[in-house]
């Protein structure tokens, strides 16, 4: 069996056309966001929609629960869909819902989005007091049941505390190094060293606001950054988390950034120009372009084994080690 191709974060406006593109691009597994600011019941409605898609398009997609499902996806030429939350909103103030959500198939949860949550601080807040009392208990509960802690949108201290407190490796599913592009959402060298020293995973984002040069970022620039990160942190800790928001209307950005917590538009990073989705770089428009990324990584002098890992083998190993009970 060849190394799998895994994209560990998408929030596309999913459709049969996108599922067909996943297959055309040879994508074996995708971690999809099923909750931003949704309550538990609203999140369940999103699960219902996915159940209908699984029923209607079983030749293209199926629900992924374990690392073995990646192998099954390869063997049956389908795409395994793994669920995750970008906020802890669906669990509210009920720690028991961590296990319930895991039983429903959720395998990743961010402890915060851009704002302060009941668990941790988001990267747009002015102050970061770290994990809350509940946050520390939720980390232990996520470790117990096999739900991965994701700190992609969290602030520095909160992220470091989650890395240090977790008994199992955590993930930053979709971000890039701050030393490459100084976006508020990208991660410091100190965080990335701590993450990878503890066995955690970084998924490189292809979302233009996270790229040096934005939508004009070149494939070579991106791949040279990945190669440098491999030198710093070890290639086995790296993967892709494209943050692909394909076919989403611009109004969805308002939902992502504002939810229901504000009566005014507050995108963070202080720029009205960020309203709406930016164009993707020309070398990565959708799931059919992963082959271009692979070719670019090989051109950046990464070994075939390292590229196989970054394109999906490393996430597959992480899934196998992380999705079961401790």
Model pLDDT for residues 270-286, shown as the tens digit of each residue:
444 466 899 999 999 99
49 Cβ partners below 8 Å, 6+ apart?
none
| H helix or E strand, kind and range, residue 138 | helix 133-145
Q: Which CATH number characterizes residue 216's domain?
A: 3.20.20.140
Q: Residue 239: enclosing H or E segment and its boundaries?
A: strand 238-240
- Residue 270 confidence (pLDDT): 42
The β-bridge partners of 187 are: 177
Reduce the DSSP state of residue 27 to 3 states and report it: coil
Is residue 205 scored above 70 in pLDDT?
yes
**Euclidean distance between CA atoms 28 and 7, whole angstroms:** 8
The model's confidence at residue 267, banded by pLDDT at 50, 70 and 90, is low
Higher pLDDT, 244 or 256: 244
Find residue 204's DSSP bridge partners. 240
The stretch 187-207 carries a mean pLDDT of 98
**pLDDT for 287 beyond 50:** yes
Instruction: Please report, for residues 107, 170, 256, the alpha-carbon distance to residue 151 in angstroms, rounded to integers and kept in the order given.
Output: 14, 8, 16
The pLDDT of residue 271 is 43
> Model-level pTM greater than 0.85?
yes
* 135 in any annotated domain: yes
Question: Is 98 inside a domain boundary?
Answer: yes
pLDDT at 262: 86
As a whole number of angstroms, the distance between CA 196 and CA 171 comes to: 9
pLDDT at residue 276, rounded to an integer: 84
Residue 1 belongs to some domain of the structure: no
Q: Taking residues 127-146, what's their average pLDDT?
A: 98
State mean pLDDT over 72-78. Answer: 98
Number of domains the chain contains: 1
Q: Which helix (H) or strand (E) holds 295?
A: helix 290-299
Range of the structural domain that residue 266 is part of: 6-322
pLDDT at position 79 is: 98
pLDDT exceeds 90 at position 181: yes
**Where in 12-144 does DSSP place strands (E)?**
29-35, 61-63, 79-85, 106-110
């Amino acid at each position: 069996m060849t190394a799998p191709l895994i994209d560990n974060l998408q929030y596309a406006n999913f459709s049969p056309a996108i599922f067909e593109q996943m297959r055309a691009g040879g994508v074996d597994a995708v971690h999809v966001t099923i909750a931003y600011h949704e309550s538990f019941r609203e999140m369940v409605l999103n699960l219902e929609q996915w159940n209908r898609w699984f029923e209607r398009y079983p030749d293209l997609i199926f629900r992924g629960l374990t690392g073995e499902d990646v192998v099954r996806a390869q063997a049956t030429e389908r795409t395994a869909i793994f669920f995750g939350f970008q906020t802890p909103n669906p669990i509210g103030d009920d720690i028991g819902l961590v296990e319930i959500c895991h039983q429903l198939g959720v395998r990743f949860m961010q402890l915060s989005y851009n704002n302060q949550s009941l668990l941790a601080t988001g990267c747009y807040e002015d102050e970061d007091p770290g994990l809350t009392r509940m946050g520390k208990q939720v980390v232990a509960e996520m470790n117990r049941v096999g739900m991965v802690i994701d700190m992609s949108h969290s602030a520095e201290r909160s992220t470091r505390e989650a890395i240090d407190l977790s008994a199992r490796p955590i993930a930053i599913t979709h971000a890039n190094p701050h030393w490459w592009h100084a976006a508020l959402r990208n991660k410091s060298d100190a965080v990335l060293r701590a993450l990878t020293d503890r066995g955690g995973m970084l998924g490189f984002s292809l979302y233009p606001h996270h790229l040096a040069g934005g939508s004009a970022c070149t494939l070579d620039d991106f791949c040279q950054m990945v190669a440098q990160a491999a030198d710093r942190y070890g290639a086995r800790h790296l993967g892709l988390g494209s943050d692909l928001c394909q076919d989403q209307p611009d109004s969805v950005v308002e939902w992502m950034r504002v939810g229901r917590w504000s009566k005014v538009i507050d995108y963070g990073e202080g720029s009205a120009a960020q309203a709406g989705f930016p164009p993707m770089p020309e070398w990565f428009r959708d799931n059919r372009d992963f082959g271009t990324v692979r070719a670019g990584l090989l051109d950046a002098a990464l070994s075939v084994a390292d590229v196989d890992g970054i394109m999906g083998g490393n996430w597959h190993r992480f899934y196998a080690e992380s999705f079961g009970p401790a």
